[in-house]
Amino acid sequence: MAKVISGKEVSAKVRAEVKTECEQLKAQGIIPGLAVIIVGDDPASRVYVNNKKKACAEVGFVSEEYALPAETTQEELLALVEKLNNKPEINGILCQLPLPKHLDEKAVINAISPLKDVDAFHPSNVGKIMIGDYHFLPCTPAGVMELVHSEGIEVSGKNCVVIGRSNIVGKPMAMLLLHENGTVTICHSRTKNLKEICQSADILVAAVGKPKFVKADMVKEGAVVLDVGINRDENGKLCGDVDYQEVEPKASYITPVPGGVGPMTIAMLMKNTLKAAKIQNGVK
């Protein structure tokens, strides 16, 4: 039977630490501020933005929401980003993705000041992560690592397999495992022998976006299984990329969905915003 790693508990701890540090900053007259831009009325994006605002309030940050209509032009959006780049009370800027089709996501990400880029999507921050000299880590992979650390799981020398190669999850996830001296394999939609490769994993990260994709026969006895997926199963119930029922008896550690990696993402966003406020105010 696997030990279940509770993202609920670990994320609450991270948020409590951020709150304490935020109080210390407030004593120095500094209140961290996060600006969240949302364009259009995608219901999932609305939920994410509301959760981020709620988390800000809980840890004591100021949050500003910029809800723009779906027909906002590229120029208008870039002008807002520029305004926020120059606003001293705002330490972190995030633009909720996906954007409506007519807007250029890449250009918007590139326009955010790297020092305020708390999602760590800006090419300059991505490059810094590659060379291991960074201020911010992308929130979801950083959250996965926080879960790994919370259990004292050793990565060094382990076979780590990441399924998924997206810029937001798979690629940076692989890089963070590599930084901790894991031997990392990235699998994707064109990978041959996926099952055999996964069977070699001491640490298996699933970031595929397919419900219950990872089955028991893909998992080595005693593997650490970290499930990034957020999907709906055939009954509309929330589930991960891992078939939890099947895999849990084989794993040594496993993250559930919901309550695993999910809550970590926002907690790490709070951590990044705190760090941005400290850097911008010259606080060590």
Active site residue 96: yes
What is the Cα–Cα distance from 158 to 240, expressed in whole angstroms?
Answer: 23
For 239, the 3-state DSSP assignment is strand
CB of 142 to ligand NAD, least distance (A): 11
Contact between 22 and 51 under an 8 Å Cβ cutoff? The reply is no
The catalytic residue among 52, 116, 171, 250 is: 52
Max Cα distance, the chain (Å): 56
Per CB under 6 A, residues contacting ligand NAD are 140, 163-166, 168-170, 187-189, 191, 194, 207-209, 228-231, 261-262, 265
Q: Is there a contact between 204 and 213 (Cβ–Cβ < 8 Å)? A: no
CB of 63 to ligand NAD, least distance (A): 18
Q: How far is the CB of 83 from ligand NAD (least distance, A)?
A: 28
CB-closest chain residue to ligand NAD: 166
Q: One of 116, 117, 119, 171 is an active-site residue; which one?
A: 119
Cβ 86 to ligand NAD, closest distance in Å?
Answer: 29
Q: What is the CA radius of gyration of the chain?
A: 19
Q: Which of 96, 227, 243, 275 is catalytic?
A: 96
- If the CB atoms of residues 90 and 129 are measured against ligand NAD, the closer one turns out to be 129
d(CA 98, CA 213): 24
**Rounded to 5 degrees, what are φ and ψ at 61?**
-85, 160
Place of tokens 């509770």: 6
Closer Cβ to ligand NAD, 60 or 170, answer by number: 170
Q: How far apart are CA 132 and CA 178, in angstroms?
A: 10
CB-wise, 97 or 279, nearer to ligand NAD? 97
Closest distance to ligand NAD from the beta carbon of 196 (Å):
13
Closer residue to ligand NAD in complex, CB, 101/284: 101
192 is catalytic: no
The helix/strand/coil state of 131 is helix
Amino acid at 163: I
Q: Between 3 and 210, whose beta carbon lies closer to ligand NAD?
A: 210
Structure tokens at 186: 């990235």
58: number of Cβ within 10 Å: 16
Q: 263 with 7: CB under 8 angstroms?
A: yes
Beta strand residue intervals within the chain, DSSP E: 3-4, 33-39, 62-68, 92-95, 159-163, 183-187, 203-206, 224-227, 231-232, 238-239, 253-254
Q: Smallest gap, in angstroms, from Cβ of residue 77 to ligand NAD?
A: 22
Known catalytic membership, residue 119: yes
Residues noted as catalytic: 52, 96, 119
